[in-house]
Amino acid sequence: MSGEEDIVDNYKLQAVNGKVLLTRADDNEVMVDLVNRKWTQRGDNLSGKYFEIKCRIVDEKEELILGKRRKVIQVETVSSNSGNPVHSVYKIASGLRMIHYEVVSPGEPLVLFTLKDS
């Protein structure tokens, strides 16, 4: 029988030493590194093979989101899993979390999710 833990992805988002970390299943992923604005992390293709993800902050600004001025950081990532380069961008807003995630190559841009003001 499956329970809630089988269908819900529980994670923790926290700020530690100038980094925003996403922790899920005892794995830490650096979402933003404000100290070293370029960083590398390890990706997993779910078959036990790992690949490198190069990340960097490309923009920081304030935007009006959900009626409040918030700092928004845009991060660009580039990875190559099985020789196919993948370029993506995401935005994280203060007081919220990741508000936009988009795969920009290969092929046509694909927005996986974005926050919309009503």
pLDDT tens, position by position, 59-98: 999 999 999 999 999 999 998 876 778 899 999 999 888 8
Q: For residues 104 and 74, which has the higher predicted lDDT (pLDDT)? A: 74
Sketch the domain layout of the chain as residue ranges.
4-114
- Using pLDDT thresholds of 50, 70 and 90, give the confidence band for residue 1: very low
Q: 57: how many CB neighbours lie within 10 A of its CB?
A: 17
pLDDT at residue 118 in the model: 59
pLDDT at residue 5 in the model: 55
- Using pLDDT thresholds of 50, 70 and 90, give the confidence band for residue 6: low
Q: For residues 41 and 74, which has the higher predicted lDDT (pLDDT)? A: 74
Q: 114: how many CB neighbours lie within 10 A of its CB?
A: 12
pLDDT at residue 2 in the model: 52
pLDDT tens, position by position, 8-31: 667 788 888 999 888 877 777 888
Average pLDDT, the chain: 84
**pTM: predicted TM-score of the whole model, two decimal places:** 0.80
CA 56, 59, 62, 67 torsion: positive or negative?
negative
- Among 98, 10, 20, 89, smallest CA distance to 53 is for 89
